[in-house]
Chain A
């Protein structure tokens, strides 16, 4: 056993896969211990908040300590963040139309552009080909730029409950800062929120954990069925073998995915929990294991040590457990790993079809994908709603297949480099 483990861990493929998988497993186990928020709690009012640190505006205005920092580029940054690309291009277009040489205009250089704008812009200037609507647009643009350019701060006013008049409560200068550590309410959303306004990262970790469990249950169910049938059909042979092989051949030819769709559909939305889906996936994917185990058992059946065991009067069960299972254990482990990873993929596929587990109880990777697709996250450019999910799925299956390739290289000398 020790020798065998050493050999396995010498395979680079296996080690890489193992490390990735263990890292995922550790994250899935440790993260919920540190961040105990409910993964399905709806915290955002609205869809797809971008990733970042969310600071409470009310708390930062009312923060007891304010700091004054005199930073030279503050004004330029403020203006740059207010002016989007289209506005810059429009400003450039106006300037060109007003007779500034095109080579002198650089829309990416905020300071220069503003400088040119301030010097040249004149709302009364008559530019040929400019529609009235466009002229008004430029006037509005100019006003908003002037607003941003002002150096005064903003007054905070509170409505007087009796008179309804606004009473000045405070004043925020442009150079005022708060320390984020002193603001009472700050929420970090490293992956933003999803379409329901749920914290993506917390949900993703939970979903990864549930998907791994689904894969594990599906893999174990499939492997157990496959192992039992394979052992029976390979060792007992005869009529049992014929019947089992008939069923196995049937299910090899009928696409498993079609069966999966039909069964999950017939179970109905209300009864589809994560475990049910996992068992259904397991029930439709045992065929490969049965075939592999059967052919292994047939080649082992007439080995000397098995015959010796038979002669010694051991029971069939004893022979199978003691003399056959140890020889096929490595194959079974490899089949299990493949079954787990294909189970995770099957769940994701089903969920995208709308046949996955119920949404209200647990998140799974497939369900997260499904909601991102329904809300068109990929078209709207909300990458944080689908890309991390894809990466999680790919990392799980990739690590498992790497481990499998590594094991294959150890057990199958013909594949060694």
Chain B
């Protein structure tokens, strides 16, 4: 267990460093934007206002409220303090709603949509890839080009195709939103059913994209393992095929777990765009709105949450990886 603890602490320290770095980038980059966002709100609010001293007062009041009149470093420490208390400031575009409030309502949608979709896609993809490597022949010849083509479609492309076929033409599923526009979120059957129906298209569009990429990776890993010496040796020894296949897929699986950790960032970004296509009320849609509204507190907080989500998922995968890969235990106990 000592080896694991070292591995775990090492990973944790590394993720903390990364998080601090990402946090700083998150703070600085949106604030480097040219133009004064406060001026934009004030000009919107002060439309028709003629006295320039009045305008100036309004401006100063808002600059004070958003803290843009202080030096950058001071702003940063105020920001850190606020974030620790869960206060991400006030949204510019949806003033006077707070950023935390907006995020709270969209985060759950994104988490419930993306993580099940990515995991289901990963499992189906790996199973198909392993089958293609093992069965070869016709199955492989059909599956491979299809997987390559599907994994090359951008995530939004798959989303649009599903939307047009099943939403617009067949009218099986609704085309946009997270629930019926005439419903109020509540724990009633009608609402739940509406959520489930709205869930299908975004979910499957993400799953299908994930399947393609994972199947390709798994197939080449499994082929590589199937040709390796230990498989040949086991065959000579007369070990049953079923048992060998078990070994092979356990070994081929390991790089796929790492692959999931490495590609989870890409997957999430693709899924965010799929959300936009379906106007799903998640983080992707929030980003779109905040970009449209030049709302940097919201952008900054949304990207921070996404980074945190991805970091968390990667950390989890690394920990699981540490348990399932015997080599890590061996390396740590040296």
Contact = CB atoms under 8 A, between A and B. Distances in A.
A252 B318 CA distance: 14
A266 B153 contact: no
Contacts of B152: 341, 394, 397-398, 401
Nearest to A246: B17
Given A254-B21, A349-B154, A262 B299 contact: yes
Given A369-B156, A390-B157, A398-B149, A265 B262 contact: no
Contacts of B224: 414-415
Given A390-B161, A414-B227, A415-B220, A258 B303 contact: yes
A383 B160 CA distance: 11
B296 A265 contact: yes
Contact of B34 (A252, A258, A270, A402): A270
B287 A257 contact: no
Interface string A341-377: 1000100110011110000000000000100010000
Given A265-B29, A390-B161, A257 B34 contact: no
A259 interface: yes
Interface string B139-154: 0000000001101111
**Chain A binding surface SS class:** helix
Contacts of A373: 276-277
Interface in A394-417: 394, 397-398, 401-402, 405, 414-415
Given A253-B311, A349-B154, A383-B164, A266 B32 contact: yes
B184 interface: no
Contact of B33 (A265, A345, A397): A265
B118 interface: no
Nearest to B160: A378
B156 A261 contact: no
Given A255-B310, A265-B30, A266-B33, A345 B148 contact: no
Contacts of A381: 164, 168
Nearest to B156: A352
A268 B34 contact: yes
B292 interface: yes
B66 interface: no
Contact of B149 (A263, A268, A394): A394
Contacts of B149: 394, 398
Contact of B18 (A253, A257, A386): A253
A204 B276 CA distance: 23
A378 B161 CA distance: 9
A249 B18 contact: yes
B30 A255 contact: no
Contacts of A250: 17-18, 21-22
Contact of B291 (A249, A353, A369): A353
Q: By CB atoms of chain A within 10 A, which of B154, B161, B291, B296 has the most?
A: B154
Contacts of B156: 348-349, 352, 369
Interface in B30-83: 30-35
Interface residues of B, number: 58
Contacts of A369: 156
A405 B148 contact: yes
**Chain B binding surface SS class:** helix
Nearest to A262: B29
A104 to B, nearest CB: 31
B148 A379 contact: no
Contacts of B151: 401
Contacts of B32: 266
Contacts of B299: 261-262, 265
Given A262-B25, A386-B160, A415-B223, A257 B30 contact: no
Q: By CB atoms of chain B within 10 A, which of A252, A268, A353 has the most?
A: A353
Contacts of A398: 148-149, 152
Interface in A235-250: 249-250
B307 A349 contact: no
Q: By CB atoms of chain B within 10 A, which of A265, A386, A414 has the most?
A: A265
A271 interface: yes
A301 to B, nearest CB: 22
A210 interface: no
Given A253-B314, A415-B223, A261 B287 contact: yes
A254 B18 contact: yes
Contact of A402 (B148, B272, B310): B148
Contact of B265 (A255, A270, A402): A255
A205 interface: no
Contacts of B270: 349
Interface of A: 249-250, 252-259, 261-263, 265-268, 270-271, 341, 345, 348-349, 352-355, 369, 373, 378-379, 381, 383, 386, 390, 393-394, 397-398, 401-402, 405, 414-415
22 contacts: A249-B14, A250-B17, A250-B18, A253-B22, A254-B22, A254-B25, A255-B268, A258-B307, A262-B30, A263-B29, A265-B30, A265-B296, A267-B33, A353-B273, A373-B276, A379-B168, A381-B168, A390-B160, A394-B152, A394-B153, A398-B152, A415-B220
Given A257-B266, A355-B291, 12 more contacts: A249-B18, A250-B17, A253-B15, A254-B18, A255-B307, A257-B265, A259-B25, A262-B30, A265-B29, A378-B164, A381-B168, A405-B148
Interchain residue pairs A-B with the least CB separation, the first 3: A257-B269, A255-B265, A262-B29
